[in-house]
Amino acid sequence: MTRLLLTNPSFQLEHGGPAYSVGRLAGALGALGHDVTVWAADGSAERVRTMDPSGQVKVAVGAIADVLRAQSWDIVHDNGLWLPYGAQIARHCRARDIPRLISVRGMMQPWAWQHRRWKKRLAWALYQKRGVESAARLHATAADEVARIRDRYPDRQPLLIANGIDIPDQVARTPRPDGAVRTALFLGRLHPVKGLTMLVDAWAQIRPAGWRLQLVGPDEEGFRAQLEAQIAGAGLSESIAIAGAVSGDAKRAYYDAASLFLLPSFTENFGISAAEALAHGVPVITTTGTPWQVLETEGCGWWVAPETAAIAAALADATGRPDSLLVTMGATGRAWVADQLHWPAIAKQFADAYADAIASPAPA
């Protein structure tokens, strides 16, 4: 049994995919019998209880320094970069020879480096560079992210372990009735990196008959107002709607109502909403800035350049297809996710990685 401290900036689901994926990983590891404690920088670790069917995960609150000293950890798994508390974790683990695994969570991608660039450079010089280099293992969720890490550290061998996904119980989908308006859904943060201005421009070009576009997610950096102005300026207010953050049954209802899912991001280290959509039997359009080439190889979606013209072409293709074909594509995607990304198998891969790092804690 491994005594594991799993840290994350937040477990508030409205903060994006890692809040869900790290919380569910904790629960899946608990179900395997490991001694798992979670801590969140914003004090939201209690939310993991709703993502922990094992009922075994412990919740730590308070300052990270106190949590680190609370017991003798076998390994610490920290998620994300750039936050100062990560330097405290790194110092504590170095001083006590505790192996540390870092999941970089997309934060070494080129877009992430450029966003608030001067702050990133300062953080890198002050603490983040040493924190990364002293980690026993670096973890990526996709092959492109592995490549980005190795661009900077050619001698490192990052772990490649995908995010897991819950497979919801669901009655088999059937085509929408003739004449019914179909819904294309985006669900995620309303943030410039998500490519939503491209999506609105593409929708304005295609204006697919019998379709509506639903954007769902928390506003970040005041971006919702920019989108609303763009939508109104294009005369699309009748066919595009925006809703705020959702979770639980409300979130599932949006997936169940959708015939098509859209993730037009410039970059994603994983793109968990694409996996969720597939798990609900919804085919996906996303970009080559995400690691979802499987959409094309398995025939459950479209994987196109992060450009307005490419997104528009995929939209025209998808919205021009009969609903029966979209239902078939969605069923194919659901079967693939159930086979490849179910949480017990993903948790076992992490447990094996922890055991390896404990046995050989030098950076690898």
Question: Domain residue spans in the chain?
Answer: 3-164+342-359, 182-340
Q: Which pLDDT does position 42 carry in this prediction?
A: 94
Q: To the nearest 10°, the Cα dihedral for 317, 320, 325, 328?
A: 50
CATH number of 3-164+342-359: 3.40.50.2000
- CA angle, corner 166, sides to 186 and 213, nearest 5? 15
Tell me the HSE value of 122 on the side-chain side, using a 13 A CA sphere.
7
pLDDT digits (tens, 9 = 90+) for 29-39: 999 999 999 99
Measured CA to CA, the distance from residue 353 to residue 362 in angstroms comes to 13
3-164+342-359 and 182-340, same CATH topology = yes
| Residue among 177, 190, 137 nearest 355 (CA) | 137
At 147, the amino acid letter reads: A
Do residues 167 and 337 touch, judged by C-beta distance below 8 A? Answer: yes
Instruction: Give the rounded distance of the alpha carbon of 323 from its chain centre.
Output: 28
pLDDT at 171 over 80: no
The answer to whether the CB of 318 falls within 8 A of the CB of 260 is yes
| Lookup: tokens for 213 | 């576009």
What is the chain's mean pLDDT, rounded? 93
Higher pLDDT, 187 or 170: 187
Q: What's residue 128's pLDDT?
A: 82
CATH architecture of 182-340: 3-Layer(aba) Sandwich (3.40)
Residue 23: predicted pLDDT:
95
pLDDT tens-digit series, residues 131-156: 889 999 999 998 888 998 999 899 99
297-318 burial, b for 16+ CB within 10 Å, e for fewer?
ebebbbbbebebebbbbbbeeb
Q: How sure is the predictor about 61, in pLDDT bands with cuts at 50, 70 and 90?
A: very high
- CB of 300 closer than 8 Å to CB of 278: yes
User: Among 260-264, 265-269, 278-282, whose mean pLDDT is lowest?
Assistant: 265-269
The mean per-residue pLDDT over the stretch 113-124 comes to: 78
Overall size of the chain counted in residues: 364
Q: Would you say residue 105 has pLDDT above 90? A: no
